[in-house]
Amino acid sequence: MSIRKNKQPRIRRTPEESRANILSSAERLLTEQGPQTLRLADVAKEAGVANATVLHHFGTIDGVHTALMERMIAELVEKVMAIELTEDTEVSRAQALTTLFEAFEQKQASKLAAWLELTHQAGRLTNVRQVVRDVTRKKFHHQNVPEDVVEDVMLVCITLALGVGLFGQTLSEMLGKPPSRAKEMALSVLMLGLRQLEAERKG
């Protein structure tokens, strides 16, 4: 046993960097280990800092939770707003839907949503309506479809994207199918169903 104390030199970050480091670690824990591991010691360890450092930047462990939610929500909104839908062809629509589904599974946004739902914090998503409105206007302005119909369609798409993002992979594998099968099937059914719905509306 060496007597020498071999302490690592401290890493001193800017407050912004430090907060980002901690939140990234927390996000990793949330998506890889589940919400119950979002404890002070776990987060601090994952971020490679002392417990007190986490509290220095966020006040309480709840502060970490809140900040994490806000960061993940902002990321998701950005991703959704970036979806292209310049023309309204089948192909373009399929691409947009695929991107939407991926947005909800890639950054583990579905897990965030489930966490909010289970903890009754969904109220934090105050801007969902506004985002949907914005998307409706910006992406669908060139079509002659009533806004509330567009909103209904988006409601379905988001609901299904969340379901697929959260459960799709696990369910697919449970049934002995490739992990993306649920997503593929959902996309097919959604495309076909929406086309029919549109046909009915027009006809």
Q: Which residues bind DNA (CB under 7 A)?
A: 7, 9-15, 18, 39-41, 48-53, 55-57, 60-62
Beta carbons of 95 and 89 less than 8 angstroms apart: no
Shortest distance in whole angstroms from residue 174 CB to a copy of itself = 5
Identify the three-state secondary structure at position 21.
helix
Smaller CB distance to a copy of itself: residue 16 or 148? 148
| Residue 48 DSSP SS3 | coil
CA 127 – CA 147 distance, rounded (Å) = 18
CA distance linking residue 191 with residue 180, whole number of Å: 17
- Piece of 8-16, 94-102, 115-123, 137-145 that binds a copy of itself (CB under 8 A): 115-123
The whole-angstrom separation of Cα 44 and Cα 18 is: 11
Residue 40's binding partner out of DNA, a copy of itself, none, with CB under 5 to 8 Å set by partner kind: DNA
Tell me the window of 5-13, 76-84, 90-98, 158-166 that interacts with a copy of itself (CB under 8 A). Answer: 158-166
- Residue 112 three-state SS: helix
Instruction: Write the binding mask 159 to 178 for a copy of itself: x where contact by CB under 8 A, - elsewhere.
Output: xxxxxx-xxx-xxx-xxxx-
Report the site for a copy of itself in 10-39 (rule: CB under 8 A): 33-36
